[in-house]
Amino acid sequence: MSAYNRGTELDLSWISKIQVNHPAVLRRAEQIQARRTVKKEWQAAWLLKAVTFIDLTTLSGDDTSSNIQRLCYKAKYPIREDLLKALNMHDKGITTAAVCVYPARVCDAVKALKAAGCNIPVASVATGFPAGQTHLKTRLEEIRLAVEDGATEIDVVINRSLVLTGQWEALYDEIRQFRKACGEAHLKTILATGELGSLTNVYKASMIAMMAGSDFIKTSTGKETVNATFPVAIVMLRAIRDFFWKTGNKIGFKPAGGIRSAKDSLAWLSLVKEELGDEWLKPELFRIGASTLLSDIERQIYHHVTGRYAAYHDLPMS
């Protein structure tokens, strides 16, 4: 991943002027959902590209070192090798973009990836994930410990109450402290958009997060009632575009939560391509947070190669 975002000064005059045109956003979202997807060879190519954007994730209370090891193996070998050979893609080094785990499992992930002989980044959630309702001192320490254990990307959650009560300066200051605690690790800021109340708040929170030094803005924890949706994504992507036009800094985007099918992943790739352009379609600027998506992508690749759908036992667990 490229050099991290050092942030800018807080510009509250910019924040105060923001107003989102809700009906226009919904119309744009409907266009994306109604569009026909690509087919055959084009679809296979786009699905393999989608694999390289996945932050392969496990965030369960019953995570153990053995299933972290399995996750890391799947991150290195996301698609069965015989399927890649059939597509002449076996020597292209296709892996997922990262693995994402709880802070206590970072050591397990680092160890497993080292044993597998690959340098896939380890991302850790932090700052009282998923609610963000712990003391600031505790949240900052959680970041530092994850970085010490070898995490090179930190997915932090914001304190939603600061957005809902319009405390933009406090939100900026908090994320600045997260940025400092990350050191050289990259900062991905989860906005938990389903709990922010309005699309205008989503835009403002996106802008504050970028001003404060976030390398990525991320839709959701995956634990909210409403996770990644197209209306929210459109607002966040346009905030990223506006920030780029104003500062020259490219900030990444990560939808997460509820993205389970290969067809879903293609729609997300199309949206990013149309809103931000091809230069954002690389792992340094686009990620998909998912735990089950990879299984469906591999199933669709299997169908493309063999002409039939895989039985459950045909594909290794992810």
Q: What is the rounded CA–CA span in Å between residue 158 and residue 191? A: 6
Overall number of domains in the chain: 1
8 Å CB contact between 268 and 288: yes
Partners of residue 54 on adjacent β-strands: 288
Q: Is residue 285 part of a domain?
A: yes
Residues 6+ apart with CB under 8 A from 172: 10, 208, 211, 212
Q: Is residue 254 part of a domain?
A: yes
Catalytic residue check, 223: no
Q: What is the rounded CA–CA span in Å between residue 275 and residue 298? A: 27
| Region of residue 185 (left: phi > 0; alpha: psi -120 to 50; beta: else) | beta
Which tokens go with 146? Answer: 């994850």
How many residues does this entry show for the chain?
318
Q: What pLDDT, on a 0 to 100 scale, did the predictor assign at position 226?
A: 87
Closest CA to 120 of 64, 57, 179: 57
Question: Can you give the residue range of the structural domain that contains 125?
Answer: 19-314
Q: What pLDDT, on a 0 to 100 scale, did the predictor assign at position 225?
A: 87
> Which of these is catalytic: 218, 246, 250, 263?
218
Q: Is residue 14 part of a domain?
A: no
8 Å CB contact between 251 and 5: yes
Q: What pLDDT, on a 0 to 100 scale, did the predictor assign at position 295?
A: 93
Q: How many CB atoms lie within 10 A of CB 95?
A: 22
Q: What pLDDT, on a 0 to 100 scale, did the predictor assign at position 224?
A: 87
Closest CA to 43 of 318, 315, 214, 296: 296
In three-state secondary structure terms, 62 is: coil
Q: Is residue 6 part of a domain?
A: no
CATH number where 161 lies: 3.20.20.70
Q: Is residue 9 part of a domain?
A: no
End-to-end CA distance of the chain: 24
Q: Which residues of 121-151 are buried (b: 16+ CB within 10 A; e: fewer)?
A: bbbbbbbbbbebeeeeeebbbbbbbbbebbb
Q: How many CB atoms lie within 10 A of CB 245?
A: 8
8 Å CB contact between 11 and 211: yes
Q: Which regions in the chain score pLDDT beneath 70?
A: 1-3, 36, 317-318
Catalytic residue check, 92: no
Q: Is residue 33 part of a domain?
A: yes
Q: Is residue 8 part of a domain?
A: no
Residues 6+ apart with CB under 8 A from 51: 78, 79, 94, 95, 96, 294, 297
> Which of these is catalytic: 74, 76, 188, 254?
254
As a dihedral over the C-alpha atoms of residue 189, residue 193, residue 195, residue 196, rounded to 10 degrees, the angle is 90
Q: What is the rounded CA–CA span in Å between residue 42 and residue 111? A: 36
Give the E-state strand segments of the chain in sequence order. 54-57, 98-101, 122-126, 153-157, 186-190, 216-218, 252-254, 288-290
Q: What pLDDT, on a 0 to 100 scale, did the predictor assign at position 34?
A: 80
Q: Is residue 13 part of a domain?
A: no
